[in-house]
Structure 1
Amino acid sequence: MAKKYYTPEGLINLLIDFNKKNGRSPTTDDFTGVRPSYATFINHFGSWNKALKTAGLKTTIQGSEQKISNEEIIKKVKEYYIKTNKSPQARDFPSTFHNRFSKWNTLLKKAGIPIAKRVDYSDKELLEILLSVTKKIGHTPKRREFNKINRLGPKSGTYAIHFGSWNNALKRIDLKIRKEVVYSKEQTIIALKEFYKKNNKIPQASDFSRNTTPTYHTILNSLNAKTWSEALIIAGFEKGERCYINDLQSRWENFVKEVVKKIYPDAIAKYKLKINAKKIIPDNYIPSANKIIDAKLSDYYINNRSNKQIEKYSKLTTDIELWCLIDRKVPKKLSAKYVFAEEIYNLLNNKKEHELAERCKSFIDMDDKIRTESGMYTKQELINAILRYKNEFGKIPTAREMEKAKSYPSLNTYKRVLGYSFKQLKKELGYKISKYAHDLYTKDEIKSMVLKFVSEHGRRPKVEEFRNKHGLPSTKAIEHTFGSLNQCLEYCELKPELIFRTDDELIKVIKDFYAQYHRSPTCTEFNNPKNKYPNAAVYSAHFGSWNSAIILAGLKVNRAGIRKSIRIQKAK
């Protein structure tokens, strides 16, 4: 039978009718084993007492009684079973019941109640449930939205099985269907090129999440591509940095596999080995020599993950070699032998494997740009990127600003190309390095950044825009350099952003809030820019703390605030 839909008004009327008939407020026991069950009231109003209060009745459950034990839960479930003579379902009880146990069936087993078989819904029942959810939320539900609301009933996948698709089920009850966006191959290519034009970078798979149109999967399907790299090639792009590295790594691994097989005929590629019941899969394993050979792009790429990998290998053998394409001359941290492309080339020539030697030479002869592993940058180009940022934003970027900036090399690119960090490069170039970003700005630098924003947008920046966005420094940097945002705006000869208030005006705002909502306000409510209240930090600056302002207004401090004050006092 389909789940009946109850309105809040209908539920309240049931409580009032019970009170008139019996001369008392109903208890949860009065609505156990009947429809609607007391769980329905709790799901609608949050708790049984809230439902009674909404109906204007006296509450029947005290706070101590609400802390129900596992034994009491099992007892109530048993009573329901005896009263109704059917296996109870999770939706017949409050969420406390099924949250207390790992599974609903676990609770039934502990209560000694037979578990009901899976519900086989008829088409009619499914459509009734779908219609009831639609009425409840006031619009056609999305699949995820439906699953969340109807979490104890059939899921959207059940509808797809019964009706062929979710949209077919919606059509059966004449509900509005969301427009299905279908991209042709040409439209997808245009979308990718528009992204490139707008962001000045090759699109990545992560740029097309489920909240974008087209999505990642839509692009692959419309271009009939198996990988993102393949999709970019079809769309006429050169493969991005990460795609290039993956392809180069794959080519090098395949080449190393051929060479190892030629030198060691019994070599096995990707052979699964067991060490202490755990599997390891080296690139190449030679059983006769008990030897492992792994292919790596460079000694720089041998990171912490490889370190753990080598530790596992060492439990099986001490004869471990890492065949690297590029020697970055970085410190060798692992207890393994490093073999570079030049040594492999000489080895192949000595064994008169000239065809393989020539192929190895083709890797060695790659130009400098390719051998940087990013496929895009030289050291000078990376330095030029820093200077370009300075010309664009009026300052040398911090590491965080460079990471967030579009159309600039990432911090990982600096590490791959140089073998050391972005900060070390700045230090090498003689730029100031600070532990805190706000130490890097002068007043004139901030002024030039603010005025540039004004010239581009035709207005002064808002407070929320000072978050390392739009080429602006953070509010911390502003406060560190000027003392306040208003002083910064005055220095830039702009109208102050904030309105100065007296103590009395600030207290009046709190009292007005109380008059409207009949309770003390919270910091969160005053910090929300949508509410247009003075920020809680303003109250702290005027009165020493938010709680002091609440007390001066003659109001009670919220419990969370009291707990916080106690913690601070104890810490002192």
Structure 2
Amino acid sequence: MSRRIYKTRRYTSEDLIEILKQKAKELDRTPMRADLRQAETIVKRFGSWNKALEAAGIPIINRISNPYTKEELIKILQESAKVLKRTPKKAEIKQADTVARVFGSFSEGIIAAGLKPTRRSGNRKPYKSHKEISEQEIIKEIQKKALELGRTPKNFEVNIGSLAINKFGSWNKALKKASLEISKKNHTRSEILQLLQDYAKKNKRTPQQKDIPIHHGVYKRIFGSWNEALRAAGLIPYYKNNQELLEELKRVSQELGKVPTVTECRQLNLSVATYQRRFGSWNKALEIAGLPIQKKAYTNEELLKILQDRARTLGRAPKCNEVKQSYTISRKFGSWQRALEEANLLIIKKYSYTKEELIEIVREKAKELNRAPKSNEVKQVNQIYKKFGNWQRVLEAAGLPVFRRVEYTKEELIEIIQKKAKELGRAPKCCEIKEINLLIKEYGSWNKALKAAGLPVFKKIVYTKEELIEIIQKKAKELNRAPKSNEIKQAPSIFRAFGSWSKALKAAGLPVFKNIEYTKEELIEIIQQKARELDRTPKSTEIKQVTLICNKFGSWNKALEAAGLPVFKKIGYTKEELIEIIQEKAKELERAPKSTEIKQVTSIYNKFKSWNKALEAAGLHTGN
């Protein structure tokens, strides 16, 4: 009978608990999923990360904490009400989620602060559509609010504001029907320009859209956009168009008396990445701006002479980090070693082991470990794979035991299940049997294996729509709000039955979570507000609306650019820089570094396609 060889390791629950404990001891804190390679296995085995921590007796990190006391939250609500001269809305309070968590709901927090809730009281009829309410009822409601405020109300100040707009076509038409004065200020072009210039003069900076109390639609209607309004006022917008970028490039070149280098651009806060993105490449931007493109082309003879001159200076064959043109040389000749060969200079050859030497190395390692070594425990693993094809063959050649899969008959597998059932006093679950993969392979599914062992089969609970609605409503009562899909165990059954979570909430008579629609200007304002708060460019993970922002602008960096903030740049290393990094590490280690010992390994693979090619380009041998 042919025997198969183990390829992956199977961990028992005890093994995983031990791994968690060891990691907690090593870190001196509760480990996170990112800290362990086996995180996915742990979650699958225990059901969740927290359950695994609990099983290991490790304290669970409670991520939800209330940084505010009830008194502090009440004070925040009251101060906001003072400023607004009315009860604040949820969207107007930064700590709204904390308020809801501490008091049970945002409305309860408002009541605790001694303020009048803005929501419709329960005894009033909630209109679902403008078809259910007459024009007369809407007019009466608007006039009542106008009397209460002593002025013409705004649409959001009236409970049926959105219904009025749907009924009459616009809020102004509804006000007209209610015989109320339409409070609309028509700003002229000259008035807006004056406002912008006055603000810039007073504050010594270009205003942001939120600094001027005019609706964004006005700028769009009169100037085409907010940035065009700034330009018309003679102000520099945070976002620059292509022409402005080219003008700036020309100005900097004129000041320096030459085309700026990438380093000089960074020092002058000139974003090379922006030019590359807008014009395709830095050279293309220089070409469009009418500036000279600096490019030095060497012949093979010139490059060989450079190598020979450097060798004479050093008294030996140079390493690639000792020659400025190393990248050009490696590219022209295929590799650094070939270039040295062409220049008739001594080259460092990598050592190649014979099969016998490799067998001896494996045997020595087995002696040291007192067992057959694993492939990752022998440095010369790459050469072993090249010579023998796989790890098992070298173990066999070295006369060492090979890891082999245990083969079970059907009867033995059934006996394993029955023994476990006897031990537990019930039919075992699949996660309670070590040989689960072999069983499923043999029988097709866990239930078929149980059936073959003469044990009761686990049946899926099939819920009716009514039962699922009851589950949702019960959870809503418990949470004092509409539940989220990740808060209900039966979520997959709910999705299958109703098609979506929103439809299920509707069927349960609960409010549906609606996505807030933001304009580009509002999203830019959110980013800028966060930047001011952090006193730096925010990361995407620090903004709640990141998905909406990326959908609107195409990417996080494009959004930052639109907000006039410095963009997070990926460090683009040249081949020379990567070679220098490898050589520095080699100097530090006094040997050729491994790929795991260099942070920039991904960039190195992208540039050189393999680790050995990178080592070769760095003048280091790839043998062990």
Give the TM-score, by structure 2 length: 0.22
Larger Rg over CA atoms: 2
| Higher strand residue share | 1
| Larger RCO: 1 or 2 (CA < 8 Å, sep 6+) | 2
